[in-house]
């Protein structure tokens, strides 16, 4: 089986790698003063479990995402494109650390980035 037939999930190292990715990614997110206030009252254990499912499914792993639809979850949070770009920068840095392969880093970044419109509030001024 060549690398194009294996799922992105397997190519980056499967369950252990995705678990590490989600953990380290949220460590960074929670240290960012631009993002941290959003998570202050959120039960992180549950969120991390949902994100583990979400990322595993988004990378074609053998997992079903059982959480709420991403657009509904972020509705009313007033997330700007600036905050989303902080979030995506932390994601990029984390993938590069866990699995320093440019192609897969770009693939993961684009897949998660597809959800950008569902997350940001386009009525806000810096969301252009
Ligand atoms: C493309 C980017 C993003 C994706 C794919 C994404 C995805 C998700 C998912 C799958 C959940 C779990 C839903 C559940 O528990 O049922 C979640 C929860 C959450 N997200 Fe995001 N997210 C993104 C960006 C952001 C950003 C930029 C922020 C804040 C600035 C944010 C704040 C939150 C918060 C606070 C929760 C917890 C909501 C709750 O439990 O009530 N997200 N997100």
Threshold 0.75, pTM exceeds = yes
Structural Rg of the chain based on CA atoms: 15
- The pLDDT assigned to 95 comes to 96
Q: What is the pLDDT of residues 40-88, one digit of tens each?
A: 999 999 999 999 999 999 999 999 999 999 999 999 999 999 999 999 9
Q: Is 108 in the pocket of ligand 1 (CB under 6 A)?
A: no
The C-alpha atoms of residue 68 and residue 70 are separated, in whole angstroms, by: 6
Please report whether residue 40 resides in a domain: yes
Specify the 3-state DSSP secondary structure of 35.
coil
What's the total number of domains in the chain? 1
Q: How far is the CA of 99 from the centre of ligand 1 (A)?
A: 23
Are the C-beta atoms of 59 and 108 separated by less than 8 Å? yes
pLDDT band at 128 (very low <50, low <70, confident <90, very high): very low
Task: Decide whether any atom of ligand 1 lies within 6 Å of the 116 Cβ.
Answer: yes
- CA 101 vs. chain centroid, Å, equals 17
In a domain, 31, yes or no: yes
**Residue span of the structural domain in which 115 resides:** 8-127
Side-chain half-sphere of 78: how many Cα atoms within 13 Å? Answer: 5
Among 70, 112, 118, 127, which residue has the most ligand 1 atoms within 8 Å of its CB, making it the best to mutate? 70
| CA dihedral of residues 1, 16, 70, 42 (deg, nearest 10) | 180
Confidence band of 127 (pLDDT split at 50, 70, 90): low
**Residue 2 lies inside a defined structural domain of this protein:** no
In a domain, 1, yes or no: no
Q: What is the CATH number of the domain that holds 34?
A: 1.10.490.10
Q: Give residue-wise pLDDT tens across range 77-119.
A: 999 999 999 999 999 999 999 999 999 999 999 999 999 999 9
User: 118 CA to middle of ligand 1, Å?
Assistant: 10
HSE at residue 2, side-chain half, CA atoms within 13 A, is 1
Query: Which of 36, 38, 73, 115 for mutating ligand 1's site (highest number of atoms within 8 Å of CB)?
Result: 73
pLDDT exceeds 70 at position 2:
no
């Amino acid at each position: 089986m060549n690398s194009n037939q294996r799922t992105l999930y397997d190519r980056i190292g499967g369950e252990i790698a995705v678990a590490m990715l989600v953990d380290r990614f949220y460590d960074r997110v929670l240290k960012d003063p631009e993002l941290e206030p959003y998570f202050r009252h959120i039960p992180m254990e549950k969120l991390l479990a949902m994100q583990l499912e979400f990322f595993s499914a988004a990378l074609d792993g053998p997992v079903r995402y059982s959480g709420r639809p991403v657009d509904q979850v972020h509705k009313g949070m007033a997330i700007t494109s600036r905050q989303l770009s902080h979030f995506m920068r932390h994601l990029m840095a984390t993938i590069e650390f866990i699995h320093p392969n440019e192609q897969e880093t770009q693939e993961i970044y684009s897949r998660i980035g597809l959800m950008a419109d569902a997350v940001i509030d386009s009525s806000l001024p810096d969301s252009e």
